[in-house]
Structures are given as structure tokens and as C-alpha cells.
Structure 1
């Protein structure tokens, strides 16, 4: 049998072992690979050192900025601050514009944190400001010493599957350090967060400017707006627009059953006979807090200055009353007209006694259509029974009150 012959790489036919040159070549390749790796490491070392240094510095900066490592108002360099110049109502409604109680625009200003001076010039006086929504519980102590991170952590986003929480012109531009929230509205109520309230925040892209925030308020669904209380109420508002009087509630029904349908009527009875009003509202059953809330709210009503009444007593004294029958002035013994703040003690005593008689004889009141008598205190009316010589009211006739005595 012919013996098989093997062929080895790099060897000759008939060789029984690998060629020694092949071993040397493999060793040389390994040396070259080792040398290349060392050269690569040497070349990459500066780059790697730089990356590590940057990451370490970033971690240090992050640590130093954390709330746990800040002392007092640590962001003292943020000497400028956005500020809400106006207070928002205690309740807003979805779909309705964010605005003040009197339906005017909410103003945002950029001011110096220390001097409170508005920044009216320079590039920062015309920055863009973005409106965001915050948790109503944030900054409850109103210290205004929050950090940027704390502020950002309290920004509220919309619920899953809902539209953005606020829509409209959420970015506004300042002019001379002032701007207005013109057309921003909520799309969702505030009942789903723990505090049940939101705040509106203002932020800018300038890291040196501290953020601003409004007071806390509730946001209710639009369907509740029809039951909204008015602040301030108008004289012709229905009485249920007042605090503590629910629409179609017991107090509302009791008032309307006595012919008191609007705020003006309630105030007229409060001025002329407060005990009667208190009795209608429940007497001892109504708490002092509820009573005070109703009267305080109603008293904020803006009265019609053009509605005045005159009352003439037997002694010739003429009282001037406003639309809710409160005395605003008087004429004594044919003298000058005096406003109520000009009465001396004896005149005030006379009026206090006389008006009690007036309130029992409201049918004696005569409407005054022309205001010149009141607008010009030096006009001298002729106090003869029956008419005044002042041209603006010379045709006014008086029914003289009877049985008046001090």
C-alpha cells in the first residue's frame, strides 16, 4: 500500500511538519496587531479623558444645582422676575378666557426682584413669555424663592387622551416689560388633581429670569357658568348671583316671594329695614357668616349715580337719597346743599332721626331726573313748600311728610 502524503501550509510535498517560516510570520502578525492597539489607545486617550471630564463636570453642576444643596434663595443671579400684576378670580370655567374679575386682561410684567421696578428698556424688556399651568399647591407660602427645577416639576400636563390643558395664545411678547394674556382658556377642570386648584405660570427662555405665577384658583366645567356668582354684582342681577344664595334655593325662594328679585331690591330693604331682610333670610337660622357674606357681596354693587330721590320734611329740610335709599346729602334751612361727608354732628343727628321717618314713608320720595342740584353744591334752592327755584327741578312737587318730630 502506498503511504499517504500530507501537504502543510507553506511546506513542501512530502513534509511531515509545518514550515518554520510560517510560525515566524504568524508571530510577526501578532506583534503588529499588538502594536496597532497600543497606538490606537494612545491616540484615543485624550478624547476619552475629555469625555470623562465633561461627564464628571456635568454631574457636579447637577449636584450643585439640586434643591438640597442650595442655601436660601440660591438662584440669586436670577435678579429679574416675571410677575402677574393682577389677581385672577377664585373660579374660572373651561372654554372661557382667562381674565380678571372685571373681565379685563391679565397683565404680566418683567421686574427687578429687589426694587420691584418694571424693566421698560433693553433687550429683555421685549422677550417672549410662555403661559403654563401649575399645581395650585405650589408655593402656598408665597415666598417666591423656588428654583427652576422646582418650578418645572410642578408644571401640570393634560390628562391622557385629553387636549392640551390650555389653548390659545399661550406665547405672548412683552413690550417695555409688559404683556397681556389675551386669549387663553382651559380645556379641562381642576378637580382631578389633589389640590383641586391650578395656578397660571409664566416662563421665558432666558435662564436668568425667574418664573412668575398667579394666585391659585379652581377651574370648573363650562356648564357651571350659568350658576356663576358675579363679582362685583350689578344692581339688576338676580339675587342668586350673590354669595350664599343658591339659585332656586330656600333663600332665593323666600326673597322672591317678598318681591325681592334683584340685588337692588335686596339693598333697598337692607338700608330701610335690615331686620326685615334678616327675618326673610331665615332669622336665627341663618349664620352670621352667611349673613355677612351676602351683605358684603351685595354692598360691592355698582350703583346708578343718575338715580336720586328727594324727600322734604315739615321743617324744610330736604334729603337727597340714592337708588337704594341711602342718604347722600341734604339741604338745611334754605342753605347750601351739603354732601353727607360735610355734615357736622348736629346735622348728622338730625338726618339720622329724619331718615327713619323717611323709610316708613317711601311713597313721599320724589325722583330727581337732573343731577345739577347735586353736582353744584352752591346752588340755593328755594325751600318753599311745593317746588324749588333751581331751574333744573323747579317743577318738582313735594308731598310733605306728616307727623315728624325729633
Structure 2
């Protein structure tokens, strides 16, 4: 019977049943693993979104507070008295120079440190010294403060317009953020932003100045703020143009010439790597420089680039190049600043046609030998040229002798088409704004 029972049980048992159970156990385990992975991914998403959502909510709440009405109506029928307007206010003497980059020192439009001054709130005239010192704090503000362009904000409104640094970041404004005002003036020697302005709602900042609480016992002093501006990442400063450009600046600092661009490569291949070399060639060989730039630079682009280049200062150095009986003096930009024949200073319009052509040849040779010119003593102011007020006359040397210059040595000269040559010489005292360099004007004899 026992054997029969075992046989009967074995006969009714499904041989595939253990496999099904194993499959069910396997499916259940994979489902658990999959659900656990989904839960982990959801938690990871929440961890990433949480700081972003917190920041968005914080900005919206802060924006709502800034735009909230200045006064809230009270249920009491009594209206509180209006606050007395301040008699004094802070102001920035000059606006900051733009553009502003992170980590770069902020200066005013004249290249000097920013200054905060105390002025009369009504007239805007500077105030004299106060009987006590005043502590002033510099803070970053949202670029869209004050809301609706109001100019009568309160101290609380101003405080709500201050920008807080991002989580995990350094203070947004660093340097001389705490100043002591003496004699109605405080100088900001060091100030910089540590973060760009792209992450705030309006994408712009302002610099604000306010009196620190408890540092002044008089009435309220209204706060100061600059115009709104963008703060760019310091990496953008590497490609910034300079106004005006310096002699030693790379040539791509000029307008319309991009760093490692087509124009930059062409100039570099022809030995024009600095602004000084660009202006030298522009002064003496403009047609050669124009050919180097090629047809890719339009006439409008050429005008913009050369106008920017001409704002470069020449400096105080003077170089001499001597020929047979004549010496030309040029500055660092190869602009002619003085002319001598046999040691006698001469006025340009006193030269004969042969002498003008000879001076021009010396001038071109000086340009070709510019890297080996001998530096001369700086010229006294009395020996520099003064530009004439008339555009039709040539500049004269102050001490030029009225007598004609001595004759040239026997030097064969050739003049195409029997043309008259006219010279112009740069006026150093006027900053070179009148006559740019040494130019040869040709006109047929009539």
C-alpha cells in the first residue's frame, strides 16, 4: 500500500511544477530589484531638484517683497504721519567703468578708484565735513531695483534689494566693502565681484552704498546706487578690446580683429603682432596694410579698425634717423615730430620739391629701420611742432628760421609725372589729433 501510495503520488505530480515555482521566485526577485532602482532614481531626482526649487521659491518671494506696496492700509482710521524726507544722501562721484568682469578691480570711468561722497538731497551739491565720522557699506543690488523706477525707497526697500550670494559661494562683493567717510568723501581702493550676473532674474547688478546702522547719530541719509550693468565671467576678459589700446597690446585688441581669426593670422604672418606695429604701418605704408587685410575687411570695417588704432598714445620717446645733411625725428608710432637740415630746424613749407622728396625717402628708411633706430633725447616743448589753426596751411616749428634751408648734396632724385610733394608733421602737444603721421600730398603743377 505504501508503495502504491508513493507510486500514485509520483504519478499525479507535475514534473514542470518545480520549474514554475523557480520562475515565480525569479520573477518576484527581479521585480523587487526593479522597484528598488526606480525608487532610488526618484530620490536622486528629488535631491537634484530640491536646491533648484528652493532658490526659485526664494527669488520669487524676495521679488514679491520688493514689489510690495510701500505702505499697507490699516484698519485704524488714523493715518500715520509721512516720514520726513532725508536731508542728505550718498552718491558715487563717477560711474564705474564698463565692462565689469568677475575678479577684476572695479574703477570709475576715468580709471581711478570709485569714490562715495555725501551730497545735499535736494540740490545734489557736495557737503562739507561732518562733526563725526560715518561708516559706509557697499552692497550688491538687483539690477531692477527699485521697482517701477521709484526714487523714494525706504531703508527696508533697499535692504530687500540686496542680492545674496549663491549657496556655497563666496560673498558676492568683496574688497573695501566697509568704508569710513571723512570730510564727506570715501575712496574705494579695492572692489570686485566674485560671481557673474547671469543667474539672477534681471541678469544685472548695481552697486549700492548705505550708512551702517549706529554709525551716524543724525537723520536718515539716503542710499546711493549705480546704474545697472552686467557682470561677466573673467574668462571673457581675455578677449576684451582696450580703449584706448596700448603700444604693447596684441593687435587683436583692435576692433574687428578677432583673436586667432583670419585678420589676426594675416597680420601675424606679415610681422604685425602689436598695436604699435599696426599703427606704424598705417602711418607710413597704409596701402600695404590694406592689402594685408584683404577683401574680407570691408571699407566700413577698415574705418572702424583704423579709427580705434589712431587712439593709441605715442608716448614720450623720440627716435632720430640721419641722412646726408638732414635728420628726421619720429615718435614710437613713426610719426614725424621734427626735421633738421644741416643741424638747423626747418619748417616743412620752406622745403623745395627736391628737399621734400629727400625727407620722404629718409622717413621711409626710418620706418624700414624702425627696430634699430637710435633713441634721441626727449624734445623740449618749445621745440615741438604746433598745428596750424588753418587746415590749408602746414604746421610750423616754433623756432624755425625764416631763411631757406641749406641745399642738399648731389643726390639723384626721380619724381613721377613732375608732381609737387607736400609734407605734414604731427603736433605732439595736441595729441596727434590734427595730422596723423607724415603724409605726402601730390598735386600737378598748374
Structure 2 match to 1:328: 337
Give the SS at the match of 1:172: strand
Q: Which of 143, 148, 153 is equivalent to 1:147?
A: 153
CA contact (8 A) 2:90 2:210 kept: yes
How far has the Cα of 1:258 moved from its partner? 1.4
Distance in 1, matches of 2:342 and 2:167, equals: 76
Q: Which of 238, 244, 251 is equivalent to 1:232?
A: 244
Matched, 1:162 2:176: no
Structure 1 match to 2:207: 200
Q: Deviations over 1:212-242 (max 9, x none)?
A: 2234433223344433433433201111233
RMSD between aligned residues: 4.4
What's the TM-score once normalised by structure 1's chain length?
A: 0.62
Distance in 2, matches of 1:92 and 1:217, equals: 8
Q: Deviations over 1:34-63 (max 9, x none)?
A: xxxxxxxxxxxxxxxxxxxxx77899449x
5+ long unaligned stretches in structure 2: 1-73, 385-397, 422-446
How far has the Cα of 1:97 moved from its partner? 2.8
Structure 1 match to 2:102: 94
Give the SS at the match of 1:123: coil
Give the 3 Å change call, closer, same or farther, for CA 180–270 of structure 1 in structure 2. same
Q: Which of 289, 292, 295 is equivalent to 1:280?
A: 292
Distance in 2, matches of 1:133 and 1:200, equals: 5
How far has the Cα of 1:80 moved from its partner? 2.7
Give the SS at the match of 1:226: helix
How far has the Cα of 1:325 moved from its partner? 1.8
CA contact (8 A) 1:303 1:323 kept: yes
Q: Which of 244, 247, 265 is equivalent to 1:253?
A: 265
How far has the Cα of 1:247 moved from its partner? 1.9
Pick the structure with greater CA Rg: 1
Structure 1 match to 2:189: 182
Structure 1 match to 2:35: none
Q: Which of 130, 137, 159 is equivalent to 2:137?
A: 130
Equivalent pairs counted in the alignment come to 317
Matched, 1:369 2:370: no
Structure 1 match to 2:316: 305
Give the 3 Å change call, closer, same or farther, for CA 115–281 of structure 1 in structure 2. farther
Distance in 2, matches of 1:401 and 1:363, equals: 21
Give the 3 Å change call, closer, same or farther, for CA 171–58 of structure 1 in structure 2. farther
Give the 3 Å change call, closer, same or farther, for CA 108–249 of structure 1 in structure 2. same
CA contact (8 A) 1:93 1:219 kept: yes
Give the 3 Å change call, closer, same or farther, for CA 380–359 of structure 1 in structure 2. closer
Give the 3 Å change call, closer, same or farther, for CA 117–400 of structure 1 in structure 2. farther
Q: Deviations over 1:161-219 (max 9, x none)?
A: 43321123311111111111123322211122344332211112466323222344332
CA contact (8 A) 1:166 1:187 kept: yes
Structure 2 match to 1:45: none
Q: Which stretch of the first structure deviates more once superposed, 85-94 or 252-261?
A: 85-94
Structure 1 match to 2:29: none
Q: Which of 158, 163, 178 is equivalent to 1:171?
A: 178
CA contact (8 A) 1:364 1:399 kept: no
5+ long unaligned stretches in structure 1: 1-54, 66-74, 387-397
Give the SS at the match of 2:247: coil
Q: Deviations over 1:60-92 (max 9, x none)?
A: 449x67xxxxxxxxx8x3343322223323222
How far has the Cα of 1:279 moved from its partner? 4.0
How far has the Cα of 1:305 moved from its partner? 1.2
Distance in 1, matches of 2:264 and 2:233, equals: 24
How far has the Cα of 1:265 moved from its partner? 0.5
